[in-house]
Amino acid sequence: MSFTDRLAVLRTGFTPTFWIANTLEIFERLAFYGTKAVLVFYLAKKVGLNDEAGTLTGWFTTLVFSLPIIAGVFVDRYGFKKTLMTCFAIFALGYFSIGLAGLEWGAAITNVLGIRNYMIIAIVITAIGGSLIKPCIVGTVAKTSTPEARPLGFSIYYTLVNIGGALGPMVALTIRTDWGIEYVLLMSAFTSLCLFFATFLFYKEIENTDTEKRTLGKVFQDMVMVFKNFKFMSMLLIFGIFFIMFWQIFYLLPLYATDVLHFADFEKLESLDALAVIIFTVPMGALLKNVNPVYPLATGFILATVSWFIVGAFGTVSMVVVGTLLFGLADAVQTPRFYDYVSSLAPKHQVGTFMGFAFLPVALGSFPAGYISDWLRLKFLNSNPSMMWFILAGIGVVGTVLFLIHHFAYSRSSEK
């Protein structure tokens, strides 16, 4: 598509609601990744849950990225606008509840349940809100774009997500250093509240013309069908290994930066992956669009593995920058071809159903990533910090090998 054609699509290919939804999304992602940037550090250093900080954050992310499978039912039943407003209302309550644990006057409330129990409840509430955003925004992008504009529409959406991912930690850094870390959560709550009113005032409801409405029964039927497909599920589990490595940017890196490297502005390091994705995704997608997806997917695993090896081998801030940018490059190499490859594993006439579960590796990786980060940090942070990153690199080697074994095993079986 030429530059002129792209401009024409930008003018005529999207309704005003498309731009409103994407504007809401960039501020929502800024609040989400601002919170994500400081959550482990906040739980460990401010709230006093040092031994479980990574685990609790891992549970939060797992719920955020797994519950959208069910959340789509509420979009079908109540509509995009009501669901989106509910999302922002729950987000506002959840972020405020998490931030409350860091305020002096909040102790009277948190002590009633105990800080651990209170924080679990607050995290679950926040995650429920986060699960509603995905089907709302992605569905809006699909329904407010013309067929020829839809690929560009999703590119705009993905770019804005990563802009929010890059800016969120930087905004969090400013708030943390000027006001205090608990105010990062309170600012996310305030942002979500503003988004609630913005949705009410500016978002125009979209008519859902789908002939087949999603129900909880249909969702669980689809889950059983997908989970019974060993080839597909094993592929998702293997890519969960990639996200075990990815989430350490938020789970392990902040405390490594402050306690080992004595680099206080850890949010700057967390923003580098999203920055690299913004820079490299489009050129990598264009460069690799005609290449067998096996090669960029394997390359993504290898680059991610090397990135953590570099961090462990050198143990300096500058090499953390190099390693994190390299991980962003791995993400950019892998992402454009991941869904293409996953769709090839789905049975014919069921591609749509199976692709609805394609984001599960993000959740599948987050669950063990939290436990692993706590184990690595408590065992090695003060004694042998390089070993944390070498073990992560070893996990990457395992993921690369399993992916290649999986591919060649099923490619041979399909040829017979």
pLDDT tens across the length of the chain (416 residues) = 555 655 665 667 788 999 999 999 999 999 999 999 999 999 999 999 999 999 999 999 999 988 877 777 777 788 889 999 999 999 999 999 999 999 988 988 998 999 999 999 999 999 999 888 878 888 888 888 888 777 778 778 888 888 999 999 999 999 999 999 999 999 999 999 999 999 999 999 887 665 566 677 877 887 788 888 888 899 999 999 999 999 999 999 999 999 999 999 999 999 999 999 999 887 887 788 788 888 999 999 999 999 999 999 999 999 999 999 999 999 989 877 787 777 777 776 666 667 667 778 999 999 999 999 999 999 999 999 999 999 999 999 999 999 999 988 877 655 44
Q: What angle, 0 to 180 degrees and rounded to 10, lies between the N-to-C axes of helices 294-314 and 272-288? A: 150
Residue 145 and residue 14 in contact, taking contact as beta carbons nearer than 8 Å? yes
pTM of the model: 0.90
The CATH architecture assigned to 12-203 reads Up-down Bundle (1.20)
Using alpha carbons only, what angle is made at residue 318 by residues 312 and 323, rounded to the nearest 5 degrees? 50
- Where are the chain's structural domains? 12-203, 215-416
Rounded CA-CA distance 40/46 in Å is 10
The CATH fold of domain 215-416: Growth Hormone; Chain: A; (1.20.1250)
Rounded CA-CA distance 9/17 in Å is 15
Supply φ then ψ for residue 272, to 5 degrees.
Answer: -70, -35
Domains 12-203 and 215-416 fall in the same CATH topology: yes
